[in-house]
Amino acid sequence: MQRVNRPIVWVFGLLASLLTSALLSSSAFAFSIPQPKAEVVASRLALLEYQLEDDDPQAHFLIGVMKLSGRYMPVDVDAGLSHLRIAAELDYGESVQTLADVLYEGKLAPRDLLEAAHWYRQLIPVNEGWARFRLGFIYAVGAPGIVRDCGKAIDHFERVSDLRAQANLVWVLATCPDSQHRDGQRALDLGLSLIETEGSSSTLLDNLAAAYAELGRFEVAVETQKKAIRQLLLEQNTQYLAEFESRLDAYLSERPFRDLAPDLD
């Protein structure tokens, strides 16, 4: 499954400034005497280590991020995850989201969608939109320990009003291999509405073509998919060209597309 699944800023790019601020800002700690940067960092790292003894959740969070990212500390993935888990279990919201995102992305630590789903569920009261968007994606593709469930994916996506979730909702409604969860007319109506309000991106056109194909309107599906391919080329996003062309071939053969090959990348 390859839909709109890109956070605006990936979590550690966002946290780099937070770490620098936490370690160098005089307002973060009670140091009143100016010190060289290296000494300031060393002093405040020592203070964070001291605060760990009291299970301070922010200290666990910051140490965890630094150990995972290699910023100010050597990389230690296991220790970094351990600190993030402690902070998350202490209901530190930033750690809950960071831990979920790290385990979902699989870039700084091994991907674990089962645990990521657990933390995204904990995140719902704090950041419902992002949590449900990611949970929808996990259920749409399935994972070790998580049965693929289009119904749950639809439930999560339809509770989020932003473009990413709504685009994924169209896709699942049009292409789910489980017929009880497909609804071509609903997918078409929502797909047309998104294009009207957001414009004709390659992804939205690709979704719309799948909806037409699900309804058996293959001639329109073919024309829409050709538009999607032209738009994809204009966007210079050719990594998905083979996928778009394979769907065009299906519609030319009057076959609707079924999303049988999950892909979270």
pLDDT digits (tens, 9 = 90+) for 227-249: 999 999 999 999 999 999 999 99
Q: Is residue 131 part of a domain?
A: no
| 129 pLDDT tier (thresholds 50, 70, 90) | very high
pLDDT higher at 36 or 200? 200
CATH of the domain at 30: 1.25.40.10
Max mean pLDDT among 135-144, 219-228, 252-261 falls in: 219-228
Question: Which pLDDT score, from 0 to 100, does residue 46 have?
Answer: 66
Contacts of 148 (CB under 8 A, 6+ apart): 139, 140, 141, 142, 262
Residues 67 and 122 in one domain: yes
- Domain-embedded: residue 133: no
Q: Is 104 helix (H, G, I), strand (E, B) or coil?
A: helix
Tens-digit pLDDT profile for residues 161-177: 999 999 999 999 999 99
Positive or negative, the CA dihedral 90, 92, 97, 103 is negative
Predicted local confidence at residue 49, as pLDDT: 73
Six-digit token pair at 158? Answer: 């339809």
Confidence category of residue 32, pLDDT binned at 50, 70, 90: very low
Give the pLDDT of residue 70: 86
163: Cβ contacts below 8 Å, ≥ 6 apart: 4, 194, 198
Q: Are residues 7 and 111 in the same domain?
A: yes
pTM of this structure: 0.81
Same domain assignment for residues 120 and 187:
no
Residue 173 is assigned to a structural domain of this protein: yes
Contact (CB, 8 A) for 115 and 20? no
Per-residue pLDDT at 74: 87
pLDDT of residue 8: 34
Alpha carbon distance 249, 244 (integer Å): 9
Report the DSSP beta bridge partners of residue 112: none
Locus of tokens 């979920």: 100
- Mark whether 2 and 122 lie in a shared domain: yes
Which amino acid would we find at residue 174? A
Q: How far apart are the first and last CA of the chain?
A: 9
Residue 35 pLDDT greater than 60, yes or no? no
The residue behind tokens 């956070």 is 7
Q: Is 70 in the same domain as 180?
A: no
Domain count within the chain: 2
Kindly tell me if the per-residue pLDDT of 133 is higher than 90.
yes
Domain that holds residue 199: 149-265
Q: Are residues 121 and 184 in the same domain?
A: no
> How high is the mean pLDDT of the chain?
86
Q: What is the mean pLDDT of residues 38-48?
A: 64
Is the same domain home to 17 and 109? yes
Residues 69 and 166 in one domain: no
- CB distance 171 to 3 below 8 Å: yes
For residue 64, pLDDT over 60 is answered with yes
Closest CA relative to residue 231, chosen from 206, 211, 249? 206
Residue 109 shares a structural domain with residue 182 = no
Higher-confidence position of 3 and 93: 93
| Amino acid 63: pLDDT | 87
The HSE-up count of residue 139 (CA atoms within 13 Å, CB side) is 25
Which residue, among 111, 7, 115, 18, has the nearest Cα to 65 in the 3D structure? 18
Highest mean pLDDT among 26-40, 63-77, 182-196: 182-196
